[in-house]
Amino acid sequence: MKNNTTFKISPGIIWSSSIFLGLLASVPQIAERHFKPAEAAVNSAVTASFSLFVWYYNIYTLPKQSGNKQLNKSISYSRLLTTLLIGMGVMLALAYIQQLILTHLNFGPVMLMIEVRGILINLVFYMLINLLYQNYQNQQVNVELERIKADNLGAQYELLKQQINPHFLFNSLNTLKAMVETNDQHSVDFILKLSNFYRFTLESRRLDLIHLSEELEIVEAYNFLLKARFEDGFIFTNTIHEQYRGTLIPPFTLQLLIENCIKHNVVSLDHPLHIKLYAEGENIVMENEIKPKRFEEPSTGVGLKNINLRYDHLLDKHIEIISEDKIFKVKLPIIHEHYHN
């Protein structure tokens, strides 16, 4: 769980409640016929000091927060027992100090009374602090869920914008117009692939994960459209083995990566762009030669951020981006069926 805040209790609450308990502990002595201010003051100071110790000790020994999203909502009885034992030791020391100050008191009964009072204070504060801590954790979980929901909605919105790319549709229609005007025999296939691509878009946009085999169908339709536009200026090589086709992938991930390659690199008959898709260890790798456009617009990185967000939110995994001198690679973690389930 990604938290930027830590659990805190106001020092004002800690000190005021401790002083209040100290004063409350001296009420019986104040009500006595022969009121002894010294005894009441020492008794009050002992109780207030012990209350301060209990506050800070229990806060300090709270379980440290980590990246684990599973919150433990049960009471730790071992920690409670440790707190009570240490509290009894501290209260015994405070009782001994009180005996040194008020030597006329009978140590046995006083010590017993102080120990019982200390156990009660310890129990109440332990339960109160744990209740406040659980409430704090629940609030943090809710904040985290809202953040993830907002990020996920943003990622889905960016994904939808990139899937239905107006520039891509405009270029595809221009290519189709040219094919029809020249009576290109592949114009019918082009129309079918274009309709298939947008059918995939409508069918897959609501899914979190699809099989790699389905994603490769989307890529095939998309690459056919690119091939009709760029001809031999665009070369795509897929060496993914059959054994990986049953694995899972967020929909349109590979299509977005290919679109990213086309956007940032020169694609021409004189300088063909070669894109390779292959498996390497526990990753699916998309690799292309770096041939930057002369007047390329500054990259916003939205496409890669989008893909990384989806892997992060759905699976707690991240993509790996490698940019070398002449090669650009994106490594996608392989998602097996059993992992998703």
Domains of the chain by residue range? 11-161, 166-333
The number of beta carbons lying within 10 Å of the beta carbon of residue 294 is 5
Distance CA 33, CA 300 (A): 81
Q: Which residues pair with 210 in a beta bridge?
A: 249
Q: Kindly list the distances between the CA atom of residue 299 and the CA atoms of 121, 231, 246, 261, 265, in Å, as whole numbers in the listed order.
A: 61, 26, 33, 12, 12
Q: Are 258 and 218 in contact (CB under 8 A)?
A: no
User: For residue 32, what pLDDT is reported?
Assistant: 62
Q: Which residues pair with 156 in a beta bridge?
A: none
Q: Which residues pair with 331 in a beta bridge?
A: 285, 320
- Token pair, residue 79, equals 């920690």
Could you name the CATH architecture of 166-333? Answer: 2-Layer Sandwich (3.30)
User: For residue 236, what pLDDT is reported?
Assistant: 94
Q: Coil, strand or helix: which one is 78? A: helix
Rg (CA), the chain: 34
Distance CA 23, CA 174 (A): 86
Burial label for 313, CB within 10 Å (0-12, 13-18, 19+), is middle
Question: Model's pTM, two decimal places?
Answer: 0.54
CA atoms within 13 A on the CB side of 51: 24
Tens-of-pLDDT digits for all 341 residues of the chain?
444 467 778 888 888 888 888 888 777 766 665 667 777 788 788 888 888 888 888 888 887 654 444 455 566 778 888 888 888 888 888 877 877 787 777 767 777 777 888 888 888 888 888 888 888 888 888 888 887 777 776 666 566 555 555 666 777 788 788 778 877 777 888 888 888 777 777 776 677 788 999 899 888 888 888 888 888 899 999 999 988 989 999 888 898 899 888 888 889 888 899 999 999 989 999 999 988 887 666 565 667 887 888 888 777 888 999 988 889 999 999 998 765 55
